[in-house]
Chains A and B, each alone.
Chain A
Amino acid sequence: MAQTTLKSRSRQIYKPKLARQVKEKVIEFILFLAAFSSVATTVAILYILIKESFLFFQEVPIVDFLTGTKWTPLFVNPQYGILPLLSGTLMSAGVALAVAIPMGTIAAIYLSEFATKRVREIAKPALELLAAIPTVVYGYFALLYVTPFLQNFFPKLPGFNILAAGLVMGLMIIPFISSISEDAMSAVPVGLREGSYAMGATKLQTALKVVFSAAISGISSSYILGTSRAVGETMIVAIAAGLRPNLTWNPFDQAATITAFIVQVSLGDLPHGTIAYQTIFAAGLTLVLMTLLLNIIGHFLAKTYREIY
């Protein structure tokens, strides 16, 4: 077909009015400032944590902080070894993940590959509810319902313990793992699934051998997210796992986590500028570095998994 060309005989060039241009630029700049506020938030977090921690580490040698086995900053003779708080944090997170990773993964596989549309439409929002319940309510559950229930089986279980807090926290974390993993699995192209079914595979074989491995990087990032939730969770452990720092690897014990310690100190009236005030920032910095480390591991894992294929 012949192409029709329209040549404008008299092309008049309208220059955009200066005022309009300026207005557009000003608006863009304001929007940019808003977007940049997230960077400012990160910088502010790091600034506050590092500033107070710096003051803290002028009093406390960093080696003592990292290797000390006693955490008694509020005693007359204070000691600042982070290990007891670290063990409490890792143990409660460990119990939670032992619940949430298997349950969340199986739920995700079920929802993505097995459930009918109807079941999925009901089960997904129902699972999301687990993450919508306020954590202080979960803490109440753990302290007043789950611990007494567990004491039926383990009479020696103390009123504050890692186990109950961890189990309840695991319940809370399930939807973080199941929904991200499910998204990752649903994003696997239909062609791969059909390729597997065409070979005579069952749903489970397709799900485990093809879909799961194709979605592994998304699934692993759901594990990382779940882990950083567990490590950073505060109210459940502060209420149900106790506030006494305790270097233990026994989930039947009580132990304070890093977050629980920050809560405990905040509940008292701590004068600004004292070393006790600075401890919570040093503890907070430790927590941030842990989540940062997790994220780096996550990136690394996702990358190596991708490189295998």
Chain B
Amino acid sequence: MVINNSHEQITSIPKAEVADLDFYYGSFHALKGINMTLPEHSVTALIGPSGCGKTTFLRCFNRMHDLYPGNRYEGSIWLDKDTNILGRKVDPIEVRMRISMVFQRPNPFPKSIYENVAYGLRVRGENNRRLMDEKIEDALRVSALWDEVKDRLNESAYNLSGGQQQRLCIARALVADPEIVLFDEPTSALDPIATASIEELMSTLKDRVTILIVTHSMQQAARISDHTAFMYLGELIEFGRTKDVFNKPLNQQTEDYISGRIG
């Protein structure tokens, strides 16, 4: 298949570059020859019908696939041009310390609100209480949760609403200053109001980090992202500025998906 994704050049500095990425679940060829750049300090959205491989692609960035046997990567993802995330000698744990993730369903630990955010620091052996307090307050403020929880930091995270839990997970992902944050359909389990507050949050976060988000909703991609990548059947069909991809798609499949004919 000839893939036409030659939108006008993306000018921002690339934070990561994906080169000829293939991915296999056992013998199933899930991602096929993906090439893409992830622009720094911007929000990049991955869209496509379910089963197209967008979540699989996202989870390559922090090597989540290494947790399960039988998975295989080919090709490379360069972080800052110097580290190949998928390199054999690169430790997946080190990758995850630099690239953190927010999941589809809020998954706070059965611990207090404070300890949930502290976890990212604690796994790094951080014990300095004052420093932790500072970082945790900062992460909670950035995640727009501080005012709601500052008086009950020792309460269980499970007492929070779904939207609050997801913002807590965002704070947890931000606390140890990651370079990239991956979002895997972060609002699909939330109601519209909670979704709106997370979306609002996302646009303020890009000063701090680079964001890659998988979303099932084209409206969401259009609202929050600077760049959009459309995937179909394990291939990257089209990639460019969001407004270009949505307004003048170059590829017939992209147009079909955006106009609701597939998916």
Taking Cβ atoms with an 8 Å cutoff, the residues of A that contact B are: 116-117, 189, 191-202, 205, 209-210, 213-214, 308-309
Using Cβ atoms and an 8 Å threshold, which residues of chain A touch B186? none
Are the CB atoms of A214 and B110 closer together than 8 Å? yes
Are the CB atoms of A213 and B93 closer together than 8 Å? no
B71 within 8 A of A: no
User: When A and B form their complex, what is the total count of cross-chain residue pairs whose Cβ atoms lie within 8 Å?
Assistant: 77
Are the CB atoms of A309 and B64 closer together than 8 Å? no
Are the CB atoms of A200 and B96 closer together than 8 Å? yes
Q: A196-B119, A198-B100 are in contact. List 8 more A-B contacts (CB 8 A).
A: A195-B109, A198-B62, A200-B94, A200-B97, A200-B100, A200-B176, A201-B123, A209-B109
Query: Which residue on B lies nearest to A195, using beta carbons?
Result: B107
A191 to B27, CA, bound (A): 25
Using Cβ atoms and an 8 Å threshold, which residues of chain B touch A209? 109, 119, 122-123
Are the CB atoms of B103 and A308 closer together than 8 Å? no
A194 to B184, CA, bound (A): 12
Using Cβ atoms and an 8 Å threshold, which residues of chain A touch B64? 194, 197-198
B2 within 8 A of A: no
A2 to chain B minimum Cβ distance, whole angstroms, is: 23
Using Cβ atoms and an 8 Å threshold, which residues of chain A touch B105? 191
Are the CB atoms of A197 and B67 closer together than 8 Å? yes
B124 within 8 A of A: yes
Query: Which residue on B lies nearest to A217, using beta carbons?
Result: B110
A62 to B156, CA, bound (A): 46
Are the CB atoms of B110 and A189 closer together than 8 Å? no
Using Cβ atoms and an 8 Å threshold, which residues of chain B touch A193? 67
Using Cβ atoms and an 8 Å threshold, which residues of chain B touch A196? 109, 119, 123
Choice from A117, A189, A200, A202 contacting B107 with Cβ under 8 Å = A189
A195 to B97, CA, bound (A): 12
23 A–B pairs (Cβ distance < 8 Å), ordered by A: A116-B69, A117-B69, A189-B107, A194-B67, A194-B103, A195-B108, A197-B64, A197-B67, A198-B96, A198-B101, A199-B119, A200-B96, A200-B120, A202-B123, A205-B123, A209-B122, A210-B119, A214-B109, A308-B156, A309-B112, A309-B156, A309-B157, A309-B158
Are the CB atoms of A199 and B172 closer together than 8 Å? yes
Q: A189-B107, A191-B103 are in contact. Are A202 and B67 (CB under 8 A)?
A: no
B171 to chain A minimum Cβ distance, whole angstroms, is: 12
B173 within 8 A of A: yes
Using Cβ atoms and an 8 Å threshold, which residues of chain B touch A192? 107, 109-110
B242 to chain A minimum Cβ distance, whole angstroms, is: 26
Using Cβ atoms and an 8 Å threshold, which residues of chain B touch A200? 93-94, 96-97, 100, 120, 123-124, 176
Counting chain B CB atoms within 10 Å of each CB, which of A196, A198, A199 scores highest? A198
A192 to B157, CA, bound (A): 13
Are the CB atoms of B93 and A202 closer together than 8 Å? yes
Query: Which residue on A lies nearest to B158, using beta carbons?
Result: A309
B16 to chain A minimum Cβ distance, whole angstroms, is: 17
Query: Which residue on A lies nearest to B172, using beta carbons?
Result: A199
Are the CB atoms of A199 and B96 closer together than 8 Å? yes
Query: Which residue on B lies nearest to A307, using beta carbons?
Result: B156
A189 to B103, CA, bound (A): 13
A238 to B52, CA, bound (A): 66
B111 within 8 A of A: yes
Using Cβ atoms and an 8 Å threshold, which residues of chain A touch B236? none
A300 to chain B minimum Cβ distance, whole angstroms, is: 19
Using Cβ atoms and an 8 Å threshold, which residues of chain B touch A309? 110-112, 156-158
